[in-house]
Amino acid sequence: MQLLDGKLAAQAIKEDLHQKTSTLLQQGKRAPHLAAILVGTDGASETYVASKVKTCAEIGFESTLKRFPSTITEEELLQEIDELNNNDAVDGILVQLPLPKHISDDKVINKINPAKDVDGFHPVSVGNMVSGTPTFIPATPYGILLLLKQYNVETSGKHAVVIGRSHIVGTPMSILLSRKSNPGNCTVTICHSATTNLKEICLQGDIIVAALGQPEFLTADMVKDGAVIIDVGITRVADASKKSGFALKGDVKFDEVSVKSSYITPVPGGVGPMTIAGLLMNTYNAYMNKQ
């Protein structure tokens, strides 16, 4: 079994972007600039955004964090996005989801200028991704592709089973793995909560991407020998032994599945850091598209 070390792979990408940013600054240009919007005080969202902002600083990107109380109206939030759309010094905009119930995710996502849509959720980005036109790919699937590439994992002709069909992970992952590209060129089965023979399907998977948000769901009896396992799940599970009071659990029962797998991502330290790497790559590309 080989660990797909997302922390290590993300570090290599960050070093490369740091180098590129230093070169831009030496040439008298400005650094790429990511603007993040955080509404409310959800603990996990706070952690994710803080980590994105911190990583920008590490590699020399500029970042702006705009925080708003959960009482902000939809109209006010849309206006804030418009201001960022019109700010030439901002290359990428991300709105941390989920948003409070009174604000429509769709309206907010649709408001972002597609040229700055570094999360890749805007319908224009999604359409481009589906048609194979260069675009911003959602950060998590993008990070997974970068990780597979970094470790030279063979995907062509393999049967990939993706568990989960969300817009941010499962659906784009299944499309990207099915494309005629490397990584890609897989035969893909996408599973969800109404899939009746999930175990049977998983047992056929040469590659399994578990993105359902059910801690330790994928067990050894669901996996064939030599499978490549990508664990996207991150769930906070109460753990009194931790200072934070919780532990992070993936969707894969790592101890038993790792024994059967050829490659596997750990949680934490697998897909999580690669998601941030994907976002940074998108921000850099948004900047370069304007040059």
Q: Footprint of ligand NDP on this chain (CB under 6 A)?
A: 140, 163-166, 168-170, 191-195, 198, 211-214, 232-235, 271-272, 275
Query: How near is the Cβ of 145 to ligand NDP at its closest, in Å?
Result: 14
Given the residues 91, 96, 150, 251, the one annotated as active site:
96
Which of these is catalytic: 14, 52, 111, 253? 52
The one catalytic residue in 119, 206, 231, 251 is: 119
Minimum CB distance to ligand NDP smaller for 194 or for 238 = 194
Evaluate whether 7 touches 150 at the Cβ level (below 8 Å).
no
CA 73 to chain centre: 27
Q: How far is the CB of 257 from ligand NDP (least distance, A)?
A: 16
Amino acid at site 11: Q
Residue (31 or 249) nearer to ligand NDP, CB:
249
The nearer residue to ligand NDP, 31 or 229, going by C-beta atoms, is 229
| CB-nearer residue toward ligand NDP: 31 or 144 | 144
Rounded Cα gap, residues 291 and 284, in angstroms: 11
In whole angstroms, give the CA distance from residue 268 to residue 7. Answer: 9
Give the β-pairing of 235-238 and 246-249: antiparallel
Report in angstroms the alpha-carbon separations of 235 from 67, 71, 82, 104.
24, 27, 33, 24
Q: How far is the CB of 258 from ligand NDP (least distance, A)?
A: 17
- Per-residue burial over 32-60, b if 16 or more Cβ lie within 10 Å, else e, is bbbbbbbbbebeebeebbeebbebbeebb
CB of 143 to ligand NDP, least distance (A): 7
Tell me the chain's radius of gyration from C-alpha atoms. 19
* H or E segment to which residue 74 belongs: helix 74-86
Q: Are 249 and 233 in contact (CB under 8 A)?
A: yes
> Does 52 participate in catalysis according to the annotation?
yes
Residue among 31 and 257 whose Cβ is closer to ligand NDP: 257
CB of 138 to ligand NDP, least distance (A): 9
Residues annotated as catalytic (active site), given as ranges: 52, 96, 119
